Amino acid sequence: MLEIRDKVYSFSKDHKPCAHAKPGDLIEFNTLDCFSGKLSDESVTMKDMDFSYNITNPAAGPVYVEGAMPGDILEVSVLSIDLDSEGTIATDDHCGPLYENTDYKTKKVPIKDGKAYFNDISFPIKPMIGVMGIAPKEGDIACGFVGDHGGNMDNKLIGAHSRVYFPVQVEGALLQMGDVHAAMGDAELCGTGIETGAKILVKISLIKGQELHWPVLETEDKWYVNASAQEFDESLMNASKEMQRLLMKATGWSAVDTYMYMSVQCDVELNQACKPCEVQLSLRIGAPKHPQIKPLISRP
């Protein structure tokens, strides 16, 4: 098993890989929280650390996947997520729908026995990976941002026992991940979940000969296309077009029949939508697995 501890703050084909892996390998990514541990206690806020999306959300990696070439699909199976014993929630004065009446504040949240302890209540944790992705074809994209390479998707369903599929854009793929949350609601309204460090154990595989334009998440009962744009309507269009394309391939139906099926069986759900915010709006469209419909992505 590979253990990955190196950190980067962006996705880029120019990053030197910290390790090489082969399809079938197990990899453990050791991650920091999105603040790189700089919010050491509740007296320190994002204002003190000069919070910026270019210096936050560190990702462990990148890992060069041998044999991965543009046009392939990289499959990442999440086996387990082991959290630190404490998480952090923080606010600022410029992010999210209630920003006008919100100032900088940091709250430490103990994590114990599968629960998070917030003020005088506790609730079950649901560990998820906020940042996971591969190098984009061009450019240097900060880990706080999201795109067709993955990145800061902030999809709360990317947890243990899920699979994520990425359209490989550069040789070696350059896989990296971080920004783990003990819990997060859809949209992540104030801009943070319960941010914490973690150890993420994954298994990687390669799929050749299949086309993919946006990251796809597979859970026990659904397929989700993850897409993004600065505003909702474009993000919705990006995800809808890819879901339609994948369903048409799986069913052989016409575009219009597929569109109608999506309207009655597919759900649109928010990932990251703490607007106003610099980060693009990230959403997912989920299609139920159906015994009479082929898998949207065929695994070897």
Q: Say if residue 36's pLDDT is above 90.
A: yes
CATH architecture of 2-207: Sandwich (2.60)
Ramachandran quadrant class, 223 (left: phi over 0; alpha: psi -120 to 50; beta: rest): beta
At position 201, the amino acid (one-letter code) is L
Separation CA 59–CA 12 (nearest Å): 12
pLDDT band at 75 (very low <50, low <70, confident <90, very high): very high
Q: Say if residue 55's pLDDT is above 90.
A: no
* Rg for the chain, CA atoms, rounded: 19
pLDDT band at 49 (very low <50, low <70, confident <90, very high): confident
Residues 6 or more apart whose CB falls under 8 angstroms from that of 147 comprise 136, 141, 228, 280
Assess contact for 79 and 26: CB atoms under 8 A.
yes
Q: Which two tokens stand for residue 119?
A: 């003020």
pLDDT score of 7: 96
pLDDT, tens digit (0-9, with 9 covering 90-100), for 76-90: 999 999 999 999 999
In CATH terms, 216-288 corresponds, of 3.40.190.10, 3.40.640.10, 1.10.287.130, 3.10.28.20, to 3.10.28.20
Separation CA 229–CA 271 (nearest Å): 12
Q: Which two tokens stand for residue 63?
A: 């890992």
For residue 199, the cross-strand partners are: 30, 82
Q: Say if residue 224's pLDDT is above 80.
A: yes
pLDDT score of 50: 72
What does the domain layout of the chain look like in residue ranges? 2-207, 216-288
Percent of the chain with pLDDT over 90: 95
Q: Is residue 115 packed enough to be buried (19+ CB in 10 Å), middle (13-18) or exposed (0-12)? A: middle
